Amino acid sequence: MPHALIVHAHPEAKSFCNAQMSEAVRALQAQSYTVEVSDLYAMNWDAELNRHDFTHDVEGPFKPPLAQEQASKSNTFAPDIAAELEKLRRADLLVFSFPLWWFSLPALLKGWVDRVFVRGTAYGGRIGTFAEGGFRGKRALLLFTTGSLEEHFGPGARDGELDVLLFHIQHGMLWFCGFQVLAPVISFAPVRGTPEARQQQLGQVRLALSTLDTRPIIFG
Ligand SMILES: Cc1cc2nc3c(=O)[nH]c(=O)nc-3n(C[C@H](O)[C@H](O)[C@H](O)COP(=O)(O)OP(=O)(O)OC[C@H]3O[C@@H](n4cnc5c(N)ncnc54)[C@H](O)[C@@H]3O)c2cc1C
């Protein structure tokens, strides 16, 4: 059975973002996926990459990439990182579920990437990048909400082009580490819509997560 890991970062359990994440879980389960959710706020996830990421002695000046490479060889990651790496190993599909904050990921989710996409496992050292990345063979997808309307995005539009805006995540994080990246699933400005429009948006999330095999590939 295929397995999905959803890494979710929204501080409010009753948010629309949370509702669409739950919709995604149900849609994937209906496609016979087993699903695991890392709900970063609920887990009180520590977003700070630092010496405490390792159980081996980090002596001298702290060089994060080297410490990560060492820990990848000696299995000496702190338990919270080791647990997320284990979830990733199990996963065929990774979903980042979040509200768009400052044209990017909430800091908690960025901190998850900093601490979990580690050198020596996700990329680098004995592992390559992009098509040779540590997570090759897995797919990934962004599932997010915005405050801006759909027409605010695009060539010449106020907020710019979404492909450009998302490049650092879809290319710089996911494809860099070997994931095949599927077209993002976006609910634009749920706060501005009617209850009916929001139900429609949840329906679109359900449909998108039910048809992953025909979803356009952005990278990989
Ligand atoms: C720090 C920060 C930076 C930001 N930067 C950006 C940015 O760069 N670009 C941008 O576009 N936006 C930005 N925003 C706005 C942000 O993206 C939106 O506030 C967010 O995506 C809205 O999603 P939400 O889940 O939080 O909405 P919510 O406010 O939780 O929900 C929206 C509406 O849906 C309703 N709802 C909740 N659950 C359900 C349900 N189950 N069914 C139907 N309706 C439901 C709620 O009652 C509410 O009326 C930023 C916000 C912050 C705080």
Q: Given pLDDT bands bounded at 50, 70 and 90, which one contains residue 170?
A: very high
145 within ligand 1 shell (Cβ under 6 A): yes
145 CA from centroid of ligand 1 (Å): 6
The residue contributing the CA closest to ligand 1 atom 53 is 101
190 within ligand 1 shell (Cβ under 6 A): yes
Tell me what the mean pLDDT of segment 107-114 comes to: 98
Domain residue spans in the chain?
Answer: 3-219
18 CA from centroid of ligand 1 (Å): 10
206 within ligand 1 shell (Cβ under 6 A): no
pLDDT single digits (tens) 39-90: 999 999 999 999 999 999 998 999 999 999 999 999 999 999 999 999 999 9
Average pLDDT, the chain: 98
Give dist(CA 70, CA 93) in Å, integer.
Answer: 27
Contact between 78 and 54 under an 8 Å Cβ cutoff? The reply is yes
DSSP-assigned beta bridge partners for residue 186: 144
99 CA from centroid of ligand 1 (Å): 6
Give dist(CA 79, CA 7) in Å, integer.
Answer: 17
- Is the pLDDT score of 147 beyond 90? yes
The residue contributing the CA closest to ligand 1 atom 30 is 15
pTM: 0.98
- Is the pLDDT score of 15 beyond 90? yes
The residue contributing the CA closest to ligand 1 atom 16 is 147
Return the CATH architecture of domain 3-219: 3-Layer(aba) Sandwich (3.40)
Q: Give the atom of ligand 1 at the shortest distance from the alpha carbon of 190.
A: 32
99 within ligand 1 shell (Cβ under 6 A): yes
C-alpha to C-alpha distances, 183 to 142, 208, 213, 214, 218, nearest whole angstrom: 8, 10, 11, 10, 6
pLDDT at 59: 87
The residue contributing the CA closest to ligand 1 atom 46 is 16
Residue of 15, 39, 185 with the most ligand 1 atoms within 8 Å of its CB, for mutation: 15
Tell me what the mean pLDDT of segment 18-31 comes to: 98
- Is the pLDDT score of 208 beyond 90? yes
Tell me what the mean pLDDT of segment 13-40 comes to: 98
Give dist(CA 203, CA 190) in Å, integer.
Answer: 13
C-alpha to C-alpha distances, 136 to 89, 125, 205, nearest whole angstrom: 11, 16, 25
